[in-house]
A and B are shown apart, each in its own frame.
Chain A
Amino acid sequence: DAGVIQSPRHEVTEMGQEVTLRCKPISGHNSLFWYRQTMMRGLELLIYFNNNVPIDDSGMPEDRFSAKMPNASFSTLKIQPSEPRDSAVYFCASSAPRPLGHIQYFGAGTRLSVL
């Protein structure tokens, strides 16, 4: 099993540019989670999907952030326009359907730097 796959691993962009982060969950998993990790705030849940449907986006910081899951094997997190305070590591995680579920497996993360 390849695990959760995220791309790109590193992204450096200039303020105002659009950034798109990508995630492929583990095959057979039906829940997908996007997190942001910073030194100051730790690991924070941004949004999660169940069966491709957004369930809770209360962690999305503002309208500049959007996430989609067009099918069971792909999700994107988009920031438009990006700002320096968006610099962080963004993780995607997935979990299996219950009763096997509730254990979240994390991807390697995308380190975003907004200059």
Chain B
Amino acid sequence: QKEVEQNSGPLSVPEGAIASLNCTYSDRGSQSFFWYRQYSGKSPELIMFIYSNGDKEDGRFTAQLNKASQYVSLLIRDSQPSDSATYLCAGEVNEKLTFGTGTRLTIIP
């Protein structure tokens, strides 16, 4: 079992709708969690990070963390075609990031 699990998708969402991306982790020592976006052929770029239980909002993006359930999610509101990418979830333990295999998201115009 991988330490960080994501649904590989692909996930298709109509433009303007809410995209919901989910991630579970097994290491309870994980301190922080990160969502990276990766366009095809490009490098990962940070979207959001979260380290406290609850919600964290930044523009159209909301990260949610539930440490009791070992669950992290990313919501993208008002989805745009430019949001089409692979989204990587990562958990941090002592500066080391463990990445999930990513969820491929496609926004349908």
Contact = CB atoms under 8 A, between A and B. Distances in A.
Contact of A45 (B45, B49, B97, B102): B97
B95 A50 contact: yes
| A: interface residue count bin | 20 to 34
Interface string A53-68: 0011000000000000
Given A42-B102, A43-B88, A103-B49, A31 B95 contact: yes
B45 A104 contact: no
Given A42-B99, A101-B95, A108-B43, 9 more contacts: A42-B100, A42-B101, A43-B44, A45-B98, A55-B95, A95-B95, A102-B49, A104-B97, A109-B43
Contact of B43 (A31, A50, A107): A107
A101 B95 CA distance: 9
A48 B95 contact: yes
Interface residues of B, number: 18
Nearest to A103: B46
A56 B96 contact: yes
A45 B96 contact: yes
A106 interface: yes
Q: Which of B42, B97, B102 has the most CB of A within 10 A?
A: B97
B95 A102 contact: yes
27 contacts: A31-B95, A33-B97, A41-B101, A42-B99, A42-B101, A43-B44, A43-B88, A45-B96, A45-B97, A50-B95, A55-B95, A56-B96, A91-B43, A101-B95, A102-B32, A102-B49, A102-B92, A102-B95, A103-B49, A104-B34, A104-B97, A105-B46, A106-B43, A106-B44, A108-B42, A108-B43, A109-B43
Contacts of B101: 41-42
Interface string B45-59: 110010000000000
Nearest to B2: A42
Interface in B16-31: none
Contact of B99 (A43, A50, A109): A43
B42 to A, nearest CB: 8
